[in-house]
Amino acid sequence: MEPLFGVLLGLILVVASSAQNNCTCATNKWTECVQGGSGNCTCMLVGSNHKVDCSTLTSKCLLMKAEMISPKEKRFRGHPHGLLDNEDIYSPDCENSGIFKARQCNQADTCWCVNTAGVRRTEKGDKSLSCGELVRTSWIYIELKHKKRCSAFNAPDVANSLKHLFERRYKLHPKFITAVKYDSPFIQIYLQQNEKSRCDVDIADVAYYFDKDVKDDSVFDSNSTLTASVNGDVMAIEKIRIYYTDEKPAEFCMRQLVAGISAVVTVVILAAGFGIAVLPILRWLWTRTYKKSETKEMGEIRAPSLQ
């Protein structure tokens, strides 16, 4: 009886261990998951008590915060992680819903305003900076370059493959992909999302996941790797650039434009002033030269009559 009991206990432990191992978050590796007594798998974001919905993408804000509080074994892989005075690498403040707070600050009490993609859209200031509403990023332009190959892919096939990839892997509805243009080896992807329902993923989150995938730093579970292919032929992406456009113009761009215009106006005024100041001098020199020439000519004309 005892050997049989031991076998049964071993089987139970194996099943329990297997269930525990299956308790992972497929869409977010920055989570800690626990198997409940009822068999449900609950995943919490690393460094917080925020529950993660593993059936969809996690917001970019929460991902960035988790990356800044990543486990020690993750921090020393490749280059070190840390807080830098850079708007693209910082530990963000997030709302309870997971979106960015309109104002972000670093440890040096330097603050700036961001859009829904977490990208800086104003000049930096101190803690007195007021940002108001969180401006939505409604349009995203992604520029890709794939490795050189003997022959280019077929443009319609590239567009169809990428649309299918974004729908399958990132849960993005095709209606938000407004265009895919291909001119080997360059690819342009246009995402537009003026409004989104609760069921839709945000294009800013999609762009962040895709950027991480291309740079071989995927947010997905380690068993899920990006495979971009066209009709079964692998398309190896080697470069990616992402541009964001908001519903409202970025404020620091306007300030720079005003500063540039002011500089041009200043140069024009200085040039005009210099011209006005130099003109009388040139006129005086020209008049003096003319009088000397005229006097000399008159002298040459009068000289014969004196003989």
Q: How confident is the model at residue 266 (pLDDT cuts 50, 70, 90)?
A: low
pLDDT of residue 49: 82
Please report which helix (H) or strand (E) contains residue 190, including its range: strand 186-192
Other Cβ atoms within 10 Å of 86 Cβ, number? 9
Q: Which two tokens stand for residue 180?
A: 């895919």
Q: Is the pLDDT of residue 273 over 80?
A: no
Q: How confident is the model at residue 225 (pLDDT cuts 50, 70, 90)?
A: confident
Structure confidence by residue, pLDDT tens digits, 70-105: 654 344 334 433 333 345 568 899 999 999 999 999
Q: Is the pLDDT of residue 259 over 50?
A: no
Structure confidence by residue, pLDDT tens digits, 113-155: 999 999 999 999 999 999 999 999 999 999 999 999 999 999 9
Cα dihedral across residues 14, 30, 205, 158: positive or negative: negative
Instruction: Say if strands 233-234 and 31-35 run parallel, antiparallel, or are unpaired.
Output: unpaired
Other Cβ atoms within 10 Å of 107 Cβ, number? 9
Q: Which two tokens stand for residue 288?
A: 């003096």
pLDDT of residue 51: 94
| Contact in structure between 155 and 113 (CB atoms under 8 Å) | no
- The three-class DSSP label of residue 189 is strand
Cα(219)–Cα(195) distance, integer angstroms: 25
Cα(55)–Cα(261) distance, integer angstroms: 50
Distances (CA, A) of 203 to 45, 57, 171, 207: 21, 11, 10, 6
| Contact in structure between 146 and 234 (CB atoms under 8 Å) | no
Q: How confident is the model at residue 298 (pLDDT cuts 50, 70, 90)?
A: low
| Contact in structure between 115 and 244 (CB atoms under 8 Å) | yes
| pLDDT average, residue stretch 7-31 | 63
Q: Which two tokens stand for residue 50?
A: 């925020």
Q: What's the distance, CA 57 to chain centroid?
A: 17
- 39 or 263, which is more confident: 39
Instruction: Say if strands 41-45 and 237-246 run parallel, antiparallel, or are unpaired.
Output: unpaired
pTM value is: 0.73
DSSP state of 150: S
